[in-house]
Amino acid sequence: MEVIKKSTLAKAYLDAYNYVMWKHRVVETEDGELTYEARPLTVVVSYPNDDKEHLRLVSPYQDNFMKMYEDQLINGTVSEFDYTYNERLFNYQETVNQIEAMVNKIANAVYTRRAVAMTWYPYNDNFENIAVPCLQYIQCKFMKGRLDMFTLWRSRDVLMGMPANMYVMNTLHNYIVGQLRNKGINVQIGSYTDISIVPHIYFKRDANYVKAME
């Protein structure tokens, strides 16, 4: 597994992109698309709040998309996709607000190892031929007055998906920290660790964006 350690999200994203471009093999997906696929990748960002807006500047997406994606995650606005992370995290199987549960776990025992959330619906996602979540798992851990966040992605479009994903995960990270402060917990935002099992780039589909990154 490749490990990239950077101070900011934007620097981490650019290094992750270069890693896949330099250390890939060509793989055809089960949907028939050609990709550059690399071995698993872990990205550790020490100060995810620093220079966050620079991530929007280096991302292929425009500012309005980032803001829309952010709004979808936190507020559950309408999406054209088969799923949303708001639905999976804040209303899991129309039953559990996993983010609220994470906040309560930490508030009740700050050093808990059980502040976790998942997105996979085993009875649907394993069998139905629909789009399924790339994000699988989130965990937050309180350490020395800081809240670290860890995310696990089963598959990762590094060029197009990663910058938007990292941007909204940072928004969620700050949201959780804010909810903890509202409960009287003195906490600052900590590091962000991002694990991609199958990092890839759609070099044919997104050829214009790949060229723009040169």
Q: What is the pLDDT along the chain (214 residues), one digit of tens a residue?
A: 999 999 999 999 999 999 999 999 999 998 899 999 999 999 999 999 998 889 988 888 877 788 888 889 998 876 666 678 999 999 998 999 999 999 999 999 999 999 999 999 998 888 876 789 999 999 999 999 999 999 999 999 999 999 999 999 999 999 999 999 999 999 999 999 999 999 999 999 999 999 888 8
Rounded-to-integer distance, Cα 180 and Cα 74, Å: 16
Report the helix count and the strand count for the chain, using DSSP H and E: 8, 10
pTM of the model: 0.95
Rounded-to-integer distance, Cα 148 and Cα 10, Å: 18
Longest dimension (CA), the chain: 51
DSSP character at residue 189 = E
Q: Check which CATH number belongs to the domain holding 113 and give it.
A: 3.30.572.10
Long-range contact list for 63-68, CB < 8 A, 24+ apart? 65/164, 66/164, 66/167, 66/168
Domain residues for 138?
Answer: 2-212
Please state the domain count of the chain. Answer: 1
Rounded-to-integer distance, Cα 98 and Cα 79, Å: 20
DSSP character at residue 1 = -
Strand blocks (E) in 14-158: 25-28, 34-37, 41-45, 116-118, 135-143, 146-153, 156-157
Task: Measure Cα distances from 121 to 92, 93, 125 in Å.
Answer: 9, 8, 5
For 94: left if phi > 0, alpha if psi spans -120 to 50, otherwise beta; the answer is left
Beta bridge partners of residue 139, listed in sequence order: 116, 150
Rounded-to-integer distance, Cα 19 and Cα 210, Å: 14
Rounded-to-integer distance, Cα 125 and Cα 128, Å: 6
Contact 45, 14 (CB under 8 A): no
